[in-house]
């Protein structure tokens, strides 16, 4: 009989919350159990809020990726526009120097295992009809760092196509770029 009563008592504790609290109150646990229930509710609210925050983070990440794609497209468009202006400035500079450029096209070279591009490569003809390799890069803005980067790429191109004219056409040129260009034997053309 005691065993049956014991099982019924445990079943009531497991199934009947009110009975459980009453018993707990008799043994001093009622307040602790109520606080634990409130803590559990608070924790559940925190999890819900955290899940909402993660959803917002995912949405922000998607928007950032979309923005990056749009900016890449805009950058490519602006690059094409600036290359068109640079091409005109380059042809004018060549004409002033008594040179004529054959077809100018981009080329790629491998530098330190990375494939890099030079915007304009072609053969310039001088007044005597001699061909001079031409390596030119179009930039919206240049500093010394960009000049050094182009010099490194142009050196690799010269190994393949021969030593030639190295030019950077830019819209905005910082003072340090001129000094570095002189050191690297690169002519800067203002677009």
CATH 3.80.10.10 assigned to 82-190: no
pLDDT at 81: 60
Reported in sequence order, the residue ranges of 54-182 that DSSP labels E, i.e. its strands, are: 100-101, 105-111, 114-125, 131-142, 165-173
Total residue count of the chain as it appears in this document: 191
The per-residue pLDDT for range 160-189, each reduced to its tens digit, is 999 999 999 998 899 999 999 999 999 999
Is pTM, for the whole model, over 0.85?
A: no
Whole-number Å distance between alpha carbons of 84 and 61: 34
**Spans of all domains in the chain:** 82-190
Enumerate residues 6+ apart whose C-beta is below 8 A from 13. 19, 20, 23
* pLDDT over 70 (residue 79): no
Res 23: pLDDT? 72
pLDDT above 70 (res 41)? yes
Distance CA 101, CA 126 (A): 9
Model pLDDT for residues 110-136, shown as the tens digit of each residue:
999 999 999 999 999 999 989 999 999
Q: What angle do CA 90, 93, 96 make, to 5 degrees?
A: 150
């Amino acid at each position: 009989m005691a065993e049956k009563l014991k099982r019924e008592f445990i079943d009531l504790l497991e199934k009947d919350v009110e009975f459980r609290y009453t018993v707990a109150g008799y043994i001093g646990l009622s307040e602790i159990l109520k606080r634990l229930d409130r803590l559990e509710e608070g924790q559940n609210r925190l999890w819900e809020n955290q899940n909402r925050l993660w959803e917002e983070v995912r949405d922000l990440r998607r928007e950032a990726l979309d923005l990056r794609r749009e900016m890449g497209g805009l950058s490519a468009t602006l690059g094409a526009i600036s290359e068109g202006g640079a091409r005109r400035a380059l042809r004018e500079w060549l004409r002033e120097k008594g040179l004529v450029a054959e077809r100018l096209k981009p080329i790629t070279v491998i530098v330190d295992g990375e494939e890099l591009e030079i915007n304009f490569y072609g053969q310039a003809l001088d007044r005597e009809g001699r061909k001079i390799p031409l390596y030119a890069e179009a930039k919206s803005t240049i500093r010394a760092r960009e000049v050094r980067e182009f010099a490194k790429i142009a050196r690799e191109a010269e190994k393949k196509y021969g030593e030639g004219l190295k030019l950077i056409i830019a819209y905005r040129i910082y003072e340090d770029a001129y000094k570095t260009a002189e050191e690297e034997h690169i002519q800067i053309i203002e677009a």
